[in-house]
């Protein structure tokens, strides 16, 4: 129930390196967007090197467990300014006015 309320109010999601709770919330959100159960919202993963080290997204595509277009559901950012720019770019398509 907590995650559903979290997502109903969210305008974007920024995930920083974390543990099981972070993965749970991230993958729940990605799954709900992927299956069109919720409207898309910008998802930003902070610190690409860390995320690439812990999740092999390309292997998921290669294995056929996600589609290549699913990689477009999220973006990587290294700095706060980069994250803000991603939010600005994605604001119109994700109803962030």
Summary mean pLDDT of the chain: 90
Domains and CATH numbers, the chain: 2-90 (3.40.50.450)
Joined together, the tokens standing for residue 44 give: 């930003």
pLDDT, position 94? 53
- Classify 67 as helix, strand or coil: coil
Per-residue pLDDT tens for 67-81? 999 999 999 999 999
Q: How far is CA 18 from CA 25, 36, 38, 74, 92, in A?
A: 11, 26, 24, 17, 29
Q: Are 87 and 42 in contact (CB under 8 A)?
A: yes
pTM score, whole prediction? 0.86
Mean pLDDT of 28-50: 93
């Amino acid at each position: 129930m907590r995650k559903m309320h979290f997502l109903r109010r969210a305008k974007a999601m920024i995930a920083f390196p974390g543990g099981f709770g972070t993965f749970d919330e991230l993958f729940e959100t990605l799954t709900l967007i992927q299956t069109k159960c919720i409207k898309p919202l910008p998802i930003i993963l902070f610190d690409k090197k860390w995320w690439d080290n812990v999740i092999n997204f390309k292997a998921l595509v290669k294995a056929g467990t996600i589609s290549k277009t699913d990689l477009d559901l999220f973006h990587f950012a290294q700095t706060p300014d980069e994250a803000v720019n991603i939010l600005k770019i994605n604001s119109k398509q994700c109803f962030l006015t």
